[in-house]
Amino acid sequence: MDYTEVLQQIAHELRPVIGQGQVASYIPELASVSPHHFGMAVVTIAGDIHTVGDAREAFSIQSISKLFTLVMALQLEGEKVWTRVGREPSGTPFNSLIQLEAENGKPRNPFINPGALVCTDILCTRYAVPENAVVEFLRPLSGNRNLHYNRAVAASERRTAHRNAAMAHLMKAFGNLSNDVDDVLDAYCRHCAIEMNCVELARAVVFLAHGGTHPEGQGDILNTSMAKRLNALMLTCGTYDAAGDFAFRVGLPAKSGVGGGIVAVMPGECGICVWSPALEPSGNSLAGSLALERFTTLTGRSIF
């Protein structure tokens, strides 16, 4: 299939809606990002790259990093991860304190903020500088040896992380956080501030389309069973409290971030990433969600 032609058609069709929505202004450094960017990339298992628009412009991956911190936590602790974090859709905003309190400090899933804080806590126990460990994990997967986090974005996010701090302290009170809260928050804000472009992110998730093995020589990232289950978790929980509607419209495992990026996986074929910074109310890229919906419609491919 000529994915480049499909991407060009999507970009043409979505031109009128690119820029609609709101950028993530609650993180001051992201408030200045133009809402009019649009980029999309497909990287196949064979290594072919197809792009359109701003696909090679780096952006803040934000909650997409939660996918990779979960992978690293699973590599370290396997099934033990699920004793501390659940696998159910939240049905509430990604930073809900009410749900966390009601469920005794165990987050619903690893893709909402408290769940990602638990995964970050696992990395803090195992690594002296956990944010650098995430960067080192992503460099070979993405193909960018110079990949790093944006210190200004990380500092901006850390200064305004009051709600995340409240959730971390609440989990600490319930015994579900082992390390110092400030250390966990520092690492969390820094891995959220990692900058990547659409090509790098699409390449980084190809292993999930390939049974857990990266096809470009990076070896086994997860076993086949874990890769299958991670894809299922992305489908049901990866796009905040809009996951059900996203699965209905798009039909692919995906993980979004408030930087405007969304990664998606077409098992057996490719990794996909779209970026458009203006968000819909749930925190997903408005144009990005529509682009992935058009992608599965135009290609006739989804997991269903």
- Annotated catalytic residues are 63, 66, 188, 240, 258
How many whole angstroms separate alpha carbon 101 and alpha carbon 143?
A: 41
- How far from chain centre, in Å, is Cα 289? 14
Burial of 182 (0-12, 13-18, 19+ CB in 10 A): exposed
How many whole angstroms separate alpha carbon 265 and alpha carbon 149?
A: 24
- Token reading at 79: 């099934």
Using left for φ > 0, alpha for ψ between -120 and 50, and beta otherwise, residue 91 falls in left
Are the CB atoms for 196 and 138 separated by under 8 Å?
yes
